[in-house]
Amino acid sequence: MMFQTTGHRARTQQRVRLGATAEGKLVSLQHDYVYHRSMLDAHHEDCGEATAFQYSVPNLRVAFGRAKRNVGSTVDMRGPGAVPGLYATESAMNELAEQLKIDPVRLRVINEPKIDEELGLPFSSRHLLECFELGAEKFGWARRTPAVGSMKRDGLTLGWGMAGCTWIAARFPAEASVQLRDDGTARVACGTQDIGTGTYTILAQLASQKTGVPLDKVEVALGDTSLPEGPLSGGSMVTASVVPAVFAAADSAIASLLTVATAAPGSPFEKRNPEELAFEDGRVFVKADGPGAAVPFADVLRRANLRLVTGSGKSEATFGNPKPKFSTHSFGCHFVEVTWQPEIARLRVSRVVTVMDAGRILNPLAGRNQIEGAVVMGIGMALLEHTSYDPRTGAPINSNLADYVVAVNADVPPIDVHFVDFPDKEINALGARGIGEIGLAGIAAAITDAVHHATGVRVRELPVKIEHLLG
């Protein structure tokens, strides 16, 4: 029942037409797409979301149509819009590179835009060229020979492919609260949720950095309607959204603490004004005296006979801003190796190198895990996952996890993830952008490019099937 009640990605048909000079400079780009949706819904699969700003092109047209069908509802499956859209446009760029006999990385470098040409705005931070450079170096791209089937290892035919990727960077509205307690601990709370993306750890890190409370002494409360309203887990925007709210809440709690420090009888700061005090590393001190005579905030609260002080903070949304000053996105690229055994028609993804420009990464371990998981989803998108509908009823035929095939451990190769560290201060004070869905963008195009390099077959329909390669 889950296959019909929770929604799924829309089926799309896309057509990309590129015009370019012999040197590889794009002169025109046309992206047309049709997607299906149910008779009752108004879901929009925005495949053209990234088309207008990913590369520089003077003549652009993006158009779409909808096909209403008697099927279950389509929804924003992870990586909606840009993910299927980039499969088409990045695949087209790879086919153009082959026809022009230009390295696909070089083709993208040639067409790197200086601004967002759709909006006529500067990018808040765009370091896609650095991603290409680092990814090519880590993957060993310079050793690639472009001829189909020309690379071998251990009796296997190798295929090397690549693609670029992008995802929106923005903030949803968010609120948070921070408590400083008389036992030296802190509590940070927000009504958002952790769906396995590391939100608990991120909020603890933010509160710890602002208050000086050790990470293991910070309590995080999430996922309850009684908590300050938090962002939804969508669009890869939770982290970017909560940073300003938590920082504002911490500043508010610290301001309350300094007021308490000057008002409590017997306090060493009793005759001071709050403006004369400073807070650093969990301690209160007089600015003029420096931190040498600092007092732990827990001592200040106990002397005031208070269990805790609380601060609240909020941040405004930037998502949907009708008059933005910058174009805000994350960028990246994937380099993929596949192995092909024509004797037994065996195709495997054997190696992936991914480089992301996603602002400042607050938790590199969790961040890398996010991208790895998205790449695994991309392997499923490219090689395994497909829904078949009963033409009589519109119901999915393979509506179970035996017939709907997803990637498992045996399908997953070593995935080498790197981040280029360029904080984006237009998003928040730390320069952190959300990640997760961007790891799924572009990976299918890189895989099918590698499949072509190994087999000579351009597969334009996902997932890649053995019959495509043996036809």
pLDDT in tens, 127-175: 999 999 999 999 999 999 999 999 999 999 999 999 999 999 999 999 9
Domain boundaries, the chain: 2-170+321-470, 174-315
What are residue 347's phi and psi, to 5 degrees? -120, 130
Cα-Cα end-to-end distance for the chain: 36
Residue 471 above 80 pLDDT? no
pLDDT of residue 348: 97
- The answer to whether 219 and 279 have CB atoms below 8 angstroms apart is no
**437 tagged catalytic:** yes
Is CATH 3.30.365.10 correct for 174-315? yes
Q: How far apart are CA 39 and CA 37, in angstroms?
A: 7
Catalytic residue (choose from 316, 343, 437, 461): 437
Name the pTM for this structure.
0.95
| C-alpha closest to that of 418 among 111, 60, 135 | 135
Q: What is the pLDDT of residues 180-201, one digit of tens each?
A: 999 999 999 999 999 988 999 9
- What's the pLDDT score for residue 78? 87
Domains 2-170+321-470 and 174-315 share a fold: yes
Topology of 2-170+321-470 in CATH? Aldehyde Oxidoreductase; domain 4 (3.30.365)
Determine the pLDDT at residue 424: 97
